[in-house]
Structure 1
Amino acid sequence: MPTFLGMSGRPLGIAITVILTFGFVLVGYDQGVMSGVITQPLWIENFPAVKGDATLLGFVVAVYDIGCLLGALFCMALGDKLGRKRSCFTGGSLVILGVIIQVASVRGSNANGALAQFIIGRVITGIGNGVNMASMPVLQAELSHQARGSLVCLECGLIATGTMLSYWLNYGVRNYKDSMTWRFPIAFQIAPALLYIAGVNFIPESPRWLCKVDRVEKAIYVLAAVNGETLEGKHTSDDLRAIVDSISLEQKIGAAFRIKDLVAGGPSQHWRRVIIGISSQFFQQIGGCNAIIYYFPILFQSSLGETQERSLLLGGVNMIVYAVFSLVSFFTVEWFGRRKLFLTGSIGQCISMVITFGCLIPGTVSAANGAALGLFLYIAFFGATYLTVPWLYATEINPLRIRAKGAALANIVNWSINFLVVMVTPIMVANIGWGTYVFFAVVNALFVPFVYFFYPETAKRSLEEIDLIFAKGYVEKISYVKAGKELPPLSVEDMKRLAVQYGLSDHDIKTSRPESENELEKASTEVINGGVHNEKV
């Protein structure tokens, strides 16, 4: 029986999840660490240009998201060439490089030069995490079956654990008398980065990507290990056949990816699926999550009049709430579904922002305590829904042909809006005060109709079944939400039959499929006869 790390089946699945978890914790840590760093007097002393300049402060914090945007663009251009594993390794390595550059920033005689170095380090760290977030959910989804939702949500939920860790580490070093009060929290992220890089080397590559680049033998080995069965096992054969058929269908318009594939219509509905994936990431960011996460201590000081120490403490408590509620989607994403979580999050976040701005209007201390409750409620609703589900949904909603590029494009939108929100939040708070929260309340309310009418349910569906939801909606001229509700669970043979019925399989595919099946049989025979028993996958 094939193994990785000496494991197969469920134990291997758990090991894959644990290893990728370090990458998600790393992303969350980096999102939260600057919230405490920018309140430290010694950091401001090292970079005096940011003192009293809300725009420059916003830029220094937000420039990380520009790096993440560049990382997503990198994956869009080269992700399919590198593969999922090598992309993850590249992302982790860039994070370490960026961190070293940041912590090595010394003011000396040129304070502006030190700030420029710090900014460059943040950009490189952002590139690394942008690559990670464009690669890790795809790798996890393609190494999982219908339970991929719970696994991806668990990992993305651990972003909140990373953020919580950064908040409490900032609180723990708040009274240091030297630059370690800000250098150590930034440098600490090297630890999870090293664990992540080391672990990624030992987990399997995506079998879907391996098939896509004609490495079918290795894909069989990986599938057998993931399924916990022999190379000729039934589940492995069924999974591989479904993947090969799906790739054949995806390649009917040409073997090489073209930009126009992202906007293809017809039964595959690429353009609609790309827009849905992008919108989920857009909603995540424009709803105000990182206005809270990046600036929670600053918001408490400026909006609620708290001291620095109490603001850091309350921020740490809020992040505990965030981390606890981030686990909700792990238990609910499959049985409750993606749609209901999106709707619950949109309504809950809207109500939380209404409470926040409503309690800030009077301008009294007692009313401001109610605003604090609103911020706590917001982070709880966000952690339980929008923190995790968009990363999963933007990955699984796209078909294999454009999955890596579609997910990367959604990430580009995510990081672009993230940059915008993080950049303008200090300016908004300084100029319109509680009006900042009015804005976020309105935009969260606007999410509800879009999700209700355009997001089909994908829970308990294989990635190949999702293709058929869109084909059914297109051919039968019904809403894709309705198509998802009406389509029953499908076997491999059902999927092949419906692919023909809905026009996903034309003459070219019908004539090429026997070649795919002959290739599959040939590869299977070679594997069974020992062709890849000794090959390192």
Structure 2
Amino acid sequence: MAFGTTRNAPSPEPKGALSTSPSPSPSRDIAHNGRNYLGLRGAKLGWAITSVATIGFLLFGYDQGVMSGIITGEYFNKEFPATYGSDQHASTIQGTVTSVYELGCFGGALTALFLGERMGRLRTICLGAVIMILGTVIQVTAFDAHFGLGQFIIGRVVTGVGNGFNTATIPTWQAECSTGASRGMLVCIEAAMIAVGTFIAYWFDFGLSFVPSHVQWRLPIAFQIVFAIGLIAGVCVLPESPRWLLAHGHEDEGTRVIAFLRGEAIDSEPVLREKRNILAGIARVQSEGHCKNRDLLTGGKTQHLRRTLLGASSQVFQQLGGCNAVIYYCPVLFENSVHLDRTLSLVLGGVLATVYALSTLASFTLVEKLGRRPMFLIGSFGQMVAMIITFACLIPGSVSASKGAAFGLYLYIIFFGSTWLELPWLYPAEINPLRTRTKANAISTSANWIFNFMVVQVVPTMVASIGWGTYLFFAVMNALFIPVIYFYYPETKGRSLEEIDLLFAKGYLNGGGMEYVTVSKTMPRLTEHEVERQIAEIEGVEKVEGAGGVDNGREDVENARGRQGSEPTLLNEVRADRGEDVNDPATTFNPIKGG
């Protein structure tokens, strides 16, 4: 007898029926009630949401790159004399002024994790943009006679908090509103905007470097407000996440948003079916309770701990590979390491930012054609070679040899922009199951900000004290990534989230260690039915043949469920990743029915 999956055909909720969704509070108005979202529907509305989401990452990239051209600027150093010079003390101050932004991002991301669900996606993004504007104002009004450098540092931290709010919220809002785009493509578009923002910042810094006044550094800092206002304007006319609306009692508006996003009538079957799926997922989360911190430490067939560590390690490796040593300090590196004059250093920094932005285009196709593992490995090897070229050309100390070091930095940014820029934002979201995804991704993002802070803080001091040894360090780090990725990072290209759950379960049952990579190579692509059948077999839910087989089989099913207790099973996690209600018998895999 074949295994099968039984599902009731979805049907619209009858009028007058008691809704199973949360009831809206009378004291709360439904968000955006009656708005038509600029008259956009379907794919056009989806692209409008993506466009506004990319403004947030454009702002992220701009704020990352803007300090690179002004930290050694004449009028910035005159305003804040402690930042002038290339000795260890001045280099440490430069690192602190630049890196405190990352601490603000870390704090903002953690705060958004606790407040974001209560406030909603759009309000959180608006708050983040407003905080960034406030931080920008604090920075541009800093004068040496009025707390000077301390005020500027506080402004950097405040701006970082706002960016932390946005980077923690925008991807969720976009994902919950998007239709038809692959996971990889969406992440690549967002990552490309980080590079474009850096490109704008570098050339803006260069253009204003010829202005003989404090406008040279105040205007590039203030220009961030333009992006922040654009972000606020965009989210004010676009819809809230339908999942958030339905989860917080705004059922009518949530249904209306789904209809706009799908380009369908509000009472059409696709809209009602998607609404039921979302409500089923919400009911599942409520029935299981919230993910506890200790759930991230579990092993077994779900492998939560391994998956959390894999995602976090990709973010840590991105930073230890040296990316922000190049992005934040490119003109400084050209001045202090390659020994070029400031104007030429700014020009080469702008060209590097241009190459950086263009290199991201390759990832749009490579991420789905080559896969995650090959891109990780190629990127690590390429970055290692680039850093070897850089430090080797700096050893002689001659001007002619140092030109080869400049080539090494360009080669590095090409490999980084086409591989490691995007993958650490995509990989954690793919390998973590729905139950732990929010907390696991928060850990990954937090790891990124902390190691980002560490690298940006110490690089100027490293360059001042050990010179070419800085690039040797990053070459060694990239070399160390290669065996870790090769032996422990399973491929996820083309896999559904349910297949990835099964992949880790099979790897665990095969002995763990490097078996996860082996399974990812050998396990064929599976249909939804095949995934659920194999998961059921792994869970020990099997049909018993012979007399009374159906009754005995049902008894075995109940016994298996009883043994699993109240803890979420692997089978439930697979169904949760599809948005199904694990308590609904209509969607439950039944191993004792024929296919």
Range into which the TM-score falls when normalised by the shorter chain: 0.7 to 0.9
Verify: 1:285 aligned to 2:319, yes or no.
Answer: yes
Quick one: distance in 2 between partners of 1:125 and 1:51?
23
Deviations 1:411-434 (CA, angstroms, capped at 9, x unpaired): 111111111111111111111110
Q: 35-44 or 458-467: which moved more? A: 458-467
Q: Specify the alignment match of 2:183 in structure 1.
A: 148
Q: Specify the alignment match of 1:62 in structure 2.
A: 99
Verify: 1:106 aligned to 2:133, yes or no.
Answer: no
Q: Specify the alignment match of 1:14 in structure 2.
A: 47
Q: Specify the alignment match of 2:575 in structure 1.
A: none
Deviations 1:189-235 (CA, angstroms, capped at 9, x unpaired): 11111111221233344455556657666655544544444456676
Q: 444-453 or 351-360: which moved more? A: 444-453
Q: 1:242 to 1:333 in 2, by over 3 A?
A: farther
Verify: 1:424 aligned to 2:422, yes or no.
Answer: no
Quick one: distance in 1 between partners of 2:355 and 2:239?
34
Verify: 1:262 aligned to 2:296, yes or no.
Answer: yes
Alpha-carbon offset, residue 359 of structure 1: 0.8
Q: 1:193 to 1:245 in 2, by over 3 A?
A: same
Give the counterpart of 2:501 among 467, 470, 474.
467
Give the counterpart of 2:151 among 117, 139, 142.
117
Q: Specify the alignment match of 1:93 in structure 2.
A: 130
Corresponding letter in the other structure for 2:101 = Y
Corresponding letter in the other structure for 1:147 = S
Answer 1 or 2: which has greater helix percent. Answer: 1
Quick one: distance in 2 between partners of 1:233 and 1:486?
41
Corresponding letter in the other structure for 2:343 = E
Give the counterpart of 1:162 among 197, 212, 237.
197
- Which runs of 5 or more structure 2 residues have no equivalent in the other structure? 1-34, 541-559, 573-579, 588-595
Q: TM-score, normalised by structure 2?
A: 0.79
Verify: 1:199 aligned to 2:234, yes or no.
Answer: yes
Corresponding letter in the other structure for 1:190 = I
Identical amino acids, percent of aligned pairs? 48
Corresponding letter in the other structure for 2:91 = A
Alpha-carbon offset, residue 116 of structure 1: 1.0
Q: TM-score, normalised by structure 1?
A: 0.87
Equivalent residues in 2 for 1:356-505, closer than 5 Å: 356-475=390-509, 477=511, 479-489=515-525, 493-494=529-530, 496-503=532-539
Alpha-carbon offset, residue 456 of structure 1: 2.4
Corresponding letter in the other structure for 2:127 = T
Name the Cα RMSD after superposition: 3.0
Quick one: distance in 1 between partners of 2:259 and 2:137?
40
| Alignment check: 8 A CA contact 2:281 2:581 kept | no
Q: Specify the alignment match of 2:590 in structure 1.
A: none
Quick one: distance in 2 between partners of 1:234 and 1:469?
34
| Alignment check: 8 A CA contact 1:138 1:404 kept | no
Q: 1:209 to 1:460 in 2, by over 3 A?
A: farther
Verify: 1:351 aligned to 2:385, yes or no.
Answer: yes
Q: 1:8 to 1:450 in 2, by over 3 A?
A: farther
Alpha-carbon offset, residue 56 of structure 1: 1.4
Corresponding letter in the other structure for 1:67 = G
Alpha-carbon offset, residue 338 of structure 1: 1.8
Q: 1:516 to 1:240 in 2, by over 3 A?
A: farther
Deviations 1:272-308 (CA, angstroms, capped at 9, x unpaired): 2211111111011111111111111111111111111
Corresponding letter in the other structure for 2:387 = M
Q: 1:270 to 1:358 in 2, by over 3 A?
A: same
Q: 1:490 to 1:209 in 2, by over 3 A?
A: farther
Alignment coverage as a number of residue pairs: 514
Q: Specify the alignment match of 1:38 in structure 2.
A: 71
Quick one: distance in 2 between partners of 1:454 and 1:212?
37
Alpha-carbon offset, residue 129 of structure 1: 1.1
Quick one: distance in 2 between partners of 1:330 and 1:25?
17
Quick one: distance in 2 between partners of 1:260 and 1:218?
36
Q: 1:514 to 1:313 in 2, by over 3 A?
A: closer
- Which runs of 5 or more structure 1 residues have no equivalent in the other structure? 520-537
| Alignment check: 8 A CA contact 1:500 1:506 kept | no
Q: 1:514 to 1:320 in 2, by over 3 A?
A: closer
Q: Specify the alignment match of 1:172 in structure 2.
A: 207
Corresponding letter in the other structure for 2:395 = I
Deviations 1:145-183 (CA, angstroms, capped at 9, x unpaired): 561211221111110100010000011011112211100
Quick one: distance in 1 between partners of 2:252 and 2:501?
25
Deviations 1:302-356 (CA, angstroms, capped at 9, x unpaired): 1111111110001001110000001211222122222221111111101100110
Corresponding letter in the other structure for 1:442 = V
Alpha-carbon offset, residue 459 of structure 1: 2.8
Alpha-carbon offset, residue 496 of structure 1: 4.9
Q: Specify the alignment match of 2:169 in structure 1.
A: 135
SS in 2 for 1:356: helix
Q: 1:292 to 1:402 in 2, by over 3 A?
A: same
Larger radius of gyration: 2
Quick one: distance in 1 between partners of 2:329 and 2:238?
36
| Alignment check: 8 A CA contact 2:66 2:220 kept | yes
Q: Specify the alignment match of 1:23 in structure 2.
A: 56
Equivalent residues in 2 for 1:305-324, closer than 5 Å: 305-324=339-358
SS in 1 for 2:191: helix
Q: 1:33 to 1:480 in 2, by over 3 A?
A: same
Q: 64-73 or 140-149: which moved more? A: 140-149
SS in 2 for 1:306: coil
Q: 1:375 to 1:140 in 2, by over 3 A?
A: same
Deviations 1:477-505 (CA, angstroms, capped at 9, x unpaired): 56333444455555555555455444499
| Alignment check: 8 A CA contact 1:242 1:492 kept | no
Corresponding letter in the other structure for 2:517 = V
Alpha-carbon offset, residue 236 of structure 1: 5.5
| Alignment check: 8 A CA contact 1:137 1:395 kept | no
Q: 1:514 to 1:384 in 2, by over 3 A?
A: closer
SS in 2 for 1:178: coil
Corresponding letter in the other structure for 1:299 = L
Quick one: distance in 2 between partners of 1:462 and 1:4?
32
Alpha-carbon offset, residue 13 of structure 1: 2.3
Q: 1:173 to 1:514 in 2, by over 3 A?
A: closer
Corresponding letter in the other structure for 1:186 = I
Q: 1:177 to 1:513 in 2, by over 3 A?
A: closer
| Alignment check: 8 A CA contact 1:147 1:460 kept | no
Quick one: distance in 2 between partners of 1:484 and 1:235?
33
| Alignment check: 8 A CA contact 2:72 2:84 kept | no
SS in 2 for 1:428: helix
Q: 1:163 to 1:287 in 2, by over 3 A?
A: same
SS in 2 for 1:333: helix
Verify: 1:185 aligned to 2:229, yes or no.
Answer: no
Q: 428-437 or 265-274: which moved more? A: 265-274
Q: 1:346 to 1:371 in 2, by over 3 A?
A: same
Verify: 1:80 aligned to 2:117, yes or no.
Answer: yes
Equivalent residues in 2 for 1:200-349, closer than 5 Å: 200-209=235-244, 221-230=256-265, 254-349=288-383
Quick one: distance in 2 between partners of 1:241 and 1:269?
30
SS in 2 for 1:295: helix
